[in-house]
């Protein structure tokens, strides 16, 4: 069955993965996201850019219903992943989050060993039948996270003892270990130095082979480097969405142009 899915993916490789229609988000009385419509393609890196407080992180967190953990947050409209409405009552947000992985702004490894950090998701979701299975998943994930060579000799050392860049790659490995279909990244490089950033960016590009990646970033250079599609958010509105090259060289909306040239922010 797995094989069939891979074949199917090959066929509709550039199909729509996530489709959001008329999304409104409220924090109490604040209207944080105003009528956002966007279609995110599979096996593509999509970047969300925009000034602070424009709602890009909020919108990102809608895609795996992380906003459910905030009491005062209310989401309206429809978000479909592969044609299935994720805000439908029958959808279990916990299952959804296994399918839509997330990497956070600050590296947040659990205070456990490197191995246990990566094995956390597979253990919860019962992805491994045997210890050998689990070892294999952990190794594969760490390789995908481009950190295997650095940690293979100390898998049982605490994950919190790694450097910031290593921790973030560990978190990415942890997220891919549950075999998600979509990987959400909320400013994954904002706490990293340029070298670690370059490593993570290279990694994002590799991840595109298997996942649909959505990345929120404050760095326009980063968006230009890693993404194929870019969405510009401003004051809760999705102002412009298109090919990255087109957004950065020939923006249609004057607000986009002002932002990328540094006049608003």
Partner 1 sequence: MSTLLIVALVGALAVVGYVLGVRRAMASADGDLRLLHSLKGYYGQNVALLVLVPSLLVLVIWMTVQPLLIEQSVLGMISNTDVAQGSSRSLMMADVRRVADGLDVAVAQGAMSRDAASDVRVDFTNVRERLASVGVAVGSTVTQSTLEAAQKFRALAATGNMIRGIVVLLIAAAGFGYALKQTDKDFRARNVVERGILVLLIAAASIAVLTTLGIVFSLIFNTIDFFESFPGADFFFGTRWEPSFSGRGGASDLGFLPLIWGTLYISIIALVVAVPLGLFAAIYLSEYASNSVRSIAKPVLEVLAGIPTIVYGLFALLTVGPLLVNIFGADGLLGVNWMSGGTAAMTAGLVMGIMLIPFVSSLSDDIINAVPQAMRDGSYGLGATQSETIRQVILPAALPGIVGAVLLAASRAIGETMIVVLGAGAAASLSLNPLEAMTTVTAKIVSQLTGDGEFNSPETMVAFALGMTLFVITLALNVVALIIVRKYREQYD
CA distance to 47, 86, 97, 236, per residue, from 265 (Å): 17, 32, 32, 14
CB of residue 158 vs partner 1: minimum separation in angstroms? 10
Nearer to partner 1, 168 or 244 (CB): 168
Minimum gap (Å) between residue 237 Cβ and partner 1: 26
Shortest separation between residue 18's beta carbon and partner 1, angstroms: 16
- The tokens for 39 are 């279609």
Contacts of 23 (CB under 8 A, 6+ apart): 33, 35, 36, 37, 59, 62, 75, 76, 77, 78, 79
Cα angle 23, 177, 193 (rounded to 5 degrees) comes to: 80
Our CB check for partner 1 shows the closer of 96 and 155 to be 96
> Please, which residue, 16 or 127, has the CB nearer to partner 1?
127
The residue (of 50 and 159) whose beta carbon lies closer to partner 1 is 159
Question: CB of 218: closest distance to partner 1 in angstroms?
Answer: 19
Question: Shortest Cβ distance from residue 70 to partner 1 (Å)?
Answer: 11
Q: Where are the alpha helices (DSSP H) in the chain?
A: 2-11, 56-62, 93-99, 114-125, 131-144, 148-151, 164-176, 194-207, 220-226, 244-249, 254-260
Beta strands 182-186; 100-103: pairing state = parallel
Query: Using an 8 Å Cβ cutoff, are 237 and 34 in contact?
Result: yes
Which CB sits closer to partner 1, 34 or 106?
106
> Minimal distance in Å, beta carbon 214 to partner 1?
13
- Which stretches of the chain bind partner 1, using CB under 8 A? 64, 66, 69, 71, 94-99, 101-104, 106, 108-112, 120-121, 124-125, 160, 171, 174-175, 178
Based on CB atoms, which residue is closest to partner 1, 102 or 247?
102
């Amino acid at each position: 069955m797995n094989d069939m899915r891979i074949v199917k993916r090959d066929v509709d490789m550039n199909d729509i993965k996530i489709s959001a229609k008329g999304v409104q988000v409220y924090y109490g009385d604040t209207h944080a996201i105003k009528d956002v419509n966007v279609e995110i393609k599979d096996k593509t890196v999509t970047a969300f850019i925009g000034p602070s407080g424009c709602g890009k992180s909020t919108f990102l967190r809608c895609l795996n219903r992380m906003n459910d953990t905030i009491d005062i947050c209310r989401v309206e409209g429809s978000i479909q992943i592969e044609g299935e409405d994720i805000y439908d009552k029958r959808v279990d947000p916990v299952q959804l989050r296994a399918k839509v992985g997330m990497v956070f702004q600050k590296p947040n490894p659990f205070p456990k060993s490197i191995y246990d950090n990566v094995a956390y998701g597979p253990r919860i979701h019962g992805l491994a039948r045997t210890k050998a299975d689990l070892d294999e998943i952990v190794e594969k994930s760490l390789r995908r996270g481009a950190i295997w060579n650095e940690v293979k000799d100390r898998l049982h050392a605490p994950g919190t003892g790694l450097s910031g860049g290593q921790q973030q790659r560990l978190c990415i490995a942890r997220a891919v270990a549950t075999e998600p279909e979509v990987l959400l990244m909320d400013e994954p490089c904002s706490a990293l130095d340029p070298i670690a950033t370059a490593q993570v960016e290279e990694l994002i590009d590799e991840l595109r082979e298997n996942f649909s990646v959505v990345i929120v970033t404050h760095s326009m250079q980063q968006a230009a480097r890693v993404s194929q599609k870019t969405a510009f958010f401003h004051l809760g509105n999705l102002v412009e969405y298109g090919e990255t090259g087109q957004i950065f060289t020939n923006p249609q909306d004057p607000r986009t142009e002002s932002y990328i040239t540094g006049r608003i922010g």
